[in-house]
Amino acid sequence: MYRLWWGLILLFIITIIYFNIFILGNKKVIIAFYPYLLGISGLLGLSLAGIYFTSDFSLIFKVLFILFFLFGVFTFIQICRNKQSLNNYYLERNQYLEQLTELAKTDTEYSLKDKRQEGISNLIERTSGLDLTINNQAEPIFKEEDIFAEMLAQLKEAEDHIHICFYIIRDDQIGQKFKDLLIKKAKDGVEIRIIYDRLGSHQLGQKYKGELRKVGIEIEAYNDLVTSILRGKLNHRNHRKNVIIDGKVAFIGDVNLGDEYITGNKRESIQVKIEGEAVSWMQKVFLLDWYYVTGDQILERRYFPEQNMKNRLPIQLITTGFDTPWSEMNKSYFALITAAQEEIYLVTPYLVLNDNILTALQTAALRGIDVNIITSKKTDSILLSWSNMSFFKKLLKAGVSVYHYQDEFLHSKMLLVDKEILSIGSANFNTRSLYLDYELNIVIFDQDFSNKIMEEITLNLEQSKKWKLEDYQQLGILDKLKLLIGRLVTPIN
């Protein structure tokens, strides 16, 4: 028993080291292989069980040596294979993107309001490769029931094609409504492609997918469990959420396809409906994802119809993923925060900050910017809630206003700067969104649109509890222990 306790303590220490080792190396590379590092921890756990049940240390050592050797070789091979495949895919992706861009080229001349906005736009273009678009119109949709109703209404109007990407698709009431409508549209001759994340949608059954495929709908998963393990990509997911209809109308935001957005512990969400030139870029992003999951490069002009939008609304997309060199979302968030001149409003369900984003927020508050962060008290994980709160102290000390949304699960992901620059989409302020997952946001450079979003943020503030530094300091020992645990597991959140 004595040896077992010491073994458990050793296991705990090694696990903490694994959770924090990313600080010492390239974050994308290290945190991508947590599943394999945790596998080694599992082997150590087996060794502890062996010590407890037998005294034949020679046998235990031989078995463990073989297991560790095989697992270590497997992990090393996966790292090498993954690095090479990422390089190859990134080159091929860029070549395909150039072809798509040439196919749907626009000659629109544009200029932004000031040098600050131009600087942010330049950063996005140089890291993501996505140009600013000007001729657009956009409408925010705030109620979840209205979001799904408007999506379904637009899907009914589809004449040529429908492209859908969700992290989660569920076989529930909402999922059935979408499935039935898509089947009807497919029978009417509309071409339909669907991408879903295999782990995010692990409960989606073969019956649901089979009914779609039976009528000619193409539905493909981003990396199933076995493929993810063999390719070293278990920790990489496609977290994007977008719908494109006929290349003319698109939806982007934070909703997945499931009843949890309208029933039970509802997820408070925002979706943006877009028409205009920005839809063409959303189409390109979808086709790049389709190329990843199928290997098919689609180059047809009909997916990029002429956009006759005369309304002026500057919109630029930001894509990010584990296979790109710039950590685009991280850099864009950093640029937006440091560009603020008056105020910042950050809304996110998951507040797991890396050093540079944390420093940027602290610095903004210390130089007199009104920095406000709204995060959800209710999340889908106790550990995530603890992780969120573990950052409150450093933020409060710098003068950041921190709010806990009390009503339901606040699922929106937004960064609003000076009520004139807005980033909104699928990316959270956490490790997964900044380094691991495929994400898609839009940045809108417009005061009128930002004011509409600010009205919703004001409602969120009214339903939130504002934290004070003394509130944090008065937490009990048990609460502080929870926050310590939350901080230890932040690298995997």
CATH of the domain at 298: 3.30.870.10
Sign of the alpha-carbon torsion through 320, 401, 264, 490: positive
Which residue bears the tokens 């009990």?
476
> What pLDDT is stored for residue 25 in this prediction?
45
Q: Both 292 and 151 in a single domain?
A: yes
Quickly count: other Cβ atoms within 10 Å of residue 57's Cβ: 10
242 found inside a domain: yes
Long-range contacts for 259-263 (Cβ within 8 Å, ≥24 apart)?
259/170, 259/172, 259/173, 259/174, 259/175, 260/170, 261/144, 261/147, 261/148, 261/174, 261/411, 262/144, 262/145, 262/148, 262/174
Q: Both 256 and 392 in a single domain?
A: no
43 found inside a domain: yes
> Which residue type, as a one-letter code, is found at position 25?
G
* Residue (of 164, 175, 283, 240) closest to 413 by Cα position: 240
138: Cα separation from own chain's centroid: 22
> What pLDDT is stored for residue 475 in this prediction?
86
Mapping DSSP to helix (H, G, I), strand (E, B) and coil, where does residue 313 land? strand
For residues 384 and 487, what is the distance between their CA atoms, to the nearest angstrom? 9
343 found inside a domain: yes
Does the annotation count 377 as an active-site position? no
For residues 246 and 193, what is the distance between their CA atoms, to the nearest angstrom? 12
> What pLDDT is stored for residue 30 in this prediction?
47
461 found inside a domain: yes
Residue 105: phi and psi, rounded to 5, are -80, 140
Does the annotation count 413 as an active-site position? yes
| Residue where one domain finishes, among candidates 55, 83, 111 | 83
User: What is the pTM assigned to this prediction?
Assistant: 0.85
For residues 336 and 261, what is the distance between their CA atoms, to the nearest angstrom? 29
> What pLDDT digit, counting tens, does each position of 319-341 carry?
998 777 788 999 999 999 999 99
108 found inside a domain: no
Residue of 289, 323, 418, 446 marked catalytic:
418
Does the annotation count 466 as an active-site position? no
Q: Both 183 and 219 in a single domain?
A: yes
109 found inside a domain: no
Q: Both 237 and 159 in a single domain?
A: yes
Does the annotation count 163 as an active-site position? no
Does the annotation count 171 as an active-site position? no
Q: Both 306 and 334 in a single domain?
A: no
98 found inside a domain: no
> What pLDDT is stored for residue 28 in this prediction?
46
- In the chain, which residues have pLDDT < 50? 19, 21-32
Residue of 411, 437, 446, 482 marked catalytic:
411
Quickly count: other Cβ atoms within 10 Å of residue 159's Cβ: 12
Q: Both 337 and 305 in a single domain?
A: no
Q: Both 472 and 397 in a single domain?
A: yes
How many domains are contained in the chain?
Answer: 3
Q: Both 251 and 371 in a single domain?
A: no
Domain that holds residue 271: 133-311
15 found inside a domain: yes
For residues 452 and 470, what is the distance between their CA atoms, to the nearest angstrom? 34
Which residue bears the tokens 């297991």?
67
Are the beta carbons of 391 and 426 closer than 8 angstroms?
no
Does the annotation count 202 as an active-site position? no
> What pLDDT is stored for residue 481 in this prediction?
85
> What pLDDT is stored for residue 476 in this prediction?
87
